[in-house]
A and B are shown apart, each in its own frame.
Chain A
Amino acid sequence: MSGMTMSQKILAAHAGLSSVSAGQLIEADLDLVLGNDITSPVAIKEMEKFKTNGVFNKDKIALVPDHFVPNKDIKSAENCKCVREFAKRNEITNYFEVGQMGIEHALLPEKGLTVAGDLIIGADSHTCTYGALGAFSTGVGSTDMACGMATGKAWFKVPSAIRFNLTGKLSEYVSGKDVILHIIGMIGVDGALYKSMEFAGEGVSSLSMDDRFTIANMAIEGGAKNGIFPVDDKAIAYMEEHAPGKKFTVYEADEDAVYDEEYTINLSELKPTVAFPHLPENTHTFDETDKINKIKIDQVVIGSCTNGRIDDIRCAAGILKGRKVADGIRCIIIPATQSIYMQAMEEGLLRIFIEAGAVVSTPTCGPCLGGYMGILASGERCVSTTNRNFVGRMGAVDSEIYLASPAVAAASAVTGYLSQPSELQ
């Protein structure tokens, strides 16, 4: 019998089994069930069909209205009302109202609700973000969320894994976003379908927690079930700061764990990377063609659960400081949570943005999913730090999204063309 991957160990522990193997169907106990303002109303309606009443544990459910809040229209307001009333009725501890909310995947780790060794499901595909802390977390739909809220359990097919050995260290203006775009460009949007993406190697220690959140966040864009990082001193320091006193468990992959594929990625060799429309796998680097420098843009968005954290905001501010957003470009900056917003304010970053001619918004998903706060008209182009550039994702069916890091997005705002920071004077 061969060893288990990190993901498999967490699943086995939560299913009460000493071991599991890829392909096995299991039922496991959940540490946290998450939903937002789009997925929760569907789940709440499903829950009404249950014979048993109420939720399995009011402390182990997180409800975060973030997609269309502050409400963009009457229907969204009705959905949020439904979530708010459900939270009240069931005395949900972790319901985050406008004013306390942030984009769910930035908010939950910050609030200490996700720690190493946890098994988490969320009715949102980017729930895989918490793998940065060594948790097994994965996106599900509303019915799974409903059953999770009612029973505290979910069914899983145990995934096999792909291992990414990271070596070296990132260069200036290259960040976690470039790492994950590089990987998706290499394996494709279904390259890790049904599988875990497990990160390992000495290169991990040089990555900031914010870089790791960005990388784990976009595991789903490679089709993966989850992305997961080993738990090192940085991860432990993060949890001690954000979840003081909360028990966490460190799992390590067995030496003889089996991987479907292994890749080695030298972080030192990575360059600013951009995913062209209309798939995250459609990646290019700036030295590849000269066409990449001639792409005229209309809008820049810096934010989302992928790149709305403090490192991202600082990086963008570093580039925009003393510069101006190019004429005719709308540059929209969205810190992902209230505390990131406040931190940015205290560091004087908001002033830098406003002086540069950018707008700064309260936390919201907004433009990332084409909700509001920056919808594209027909034929328009946007450089965005979000995670999906599908047809129509941010507005008109024939608009275009270029996915990039905060550094590339900020530099592009200054030039008005898709640009990397080294091009700025």
Chain B
Amino acid sequence: MKEARGSVFCFGDNVDTDVIIPARYLNTADPMELAAHCMEDIDKDFIKNVKKGDIIVANKNFGCGSSREHAPIAIKAAGVSCVIAETFARIFYRNAINIGLPIVECPDAAKEIKQGDVVNINFDTGVITDETTGKTFQGQAFPPFMQKIIDSEGLVNYINGKE
């Protein structure tokens, strides 16, 4: 995947993995079951409204807390094509790359993009375009090593491909 495009759902600072997918649902690892409860403690209607390709935009430290990979899995299975944030918590960052969920750090975009805007992200260049306002932002492109993992749709495929 070299590009993502969709409408935006905005969240604030320190969105933790307990609200992305509450522990009461961690007795399953089924992506679709997890997706059904994605974000429900912070936005009950998120899962009703999100469409395939949509984009999450958040402020700092997105995905802090537990190491549960169920969090990026739930987001990906909910149809989200990319998460843009000012910063990500480090385990979430790793996990997202390892399962092939594209994420981009970009403080300016996180500040200016509004709920409902239609946004396009080019992963090769890191350029984020808010089609609603016409503004563009330069996000951080991945180092080549991480880009390869994302291109392989995750770490396991990447390692399999190397051998």
Contacts and interface: CB of A to CB of B under 8 A. Distances in A.
B156 A390 contact: no
B10 interface: no
Given A75-B28, A141-B68, A190-B87, A390 B154 contact: no
B67 interface: yes
Interface string A133-162: 000000111111011001100010000000
Contacts of B155: 143-144, 147
Interface in A52-111: 52, 67-68, 72-73, 75-76, 79
B29 A143 contact: no
A371 interface: yes
Residue among B22, B160, B163 with most chain A CB within 10 A: B22
B60 A190 contact: yes
A223 B64 contact: yes
Interface string B126-139: 00000000000000
A190 B14 contact: yes
A124 interface: yes
A141 B23 contact: no
Given A141-B95, A143-B98, A190-B89, A52 B163 contact: yes
A370 B17 CA distance: 13
Contacts of B99: 141, 143
A41 B18 contact: no
B154 to A, nearest CB: 7
Interface string B60-85: 11001111111011000000000000
A390 B61 CA distance: 14
B41 interface: yes
Contacts of B95: 140-144
Interface of B: 14, 16, 18-19, 22-24, 26-29, 41-42, 60-61, 64-70, 72-73, 87, 89-91, 94-95, 98-99, 143, 145, 154-157, 159-160, 163
5 contacts: A39-B69, A122-B67, A144-B155, A189-B61, A190-B61
Interface of A: 25, 38-39, 41-42, 45-46, 49-52, 67-68, 72-73, 75-76, 79, 122-125, 127, 139-144, 146-147, 150-151, 155, 189-190, 193-194, 220, 223, 225, 279, 369-371, 388, 390-393, 397
Given A79-B27, A141-B94, A147-B159, 11 more contacts: A38-B68, A49-B156, A51-B163, A75-B28, A125-B65, A141-B67, A141-B69, A190-B87, A193-B87, A223-B61, A369-B26
Q: Which 7 A-B pairs have the closest CB atoms?
A: A141-B95, A75-B27, A141-B69, A143-B98, A190-B61, A125-B67, A369-B23
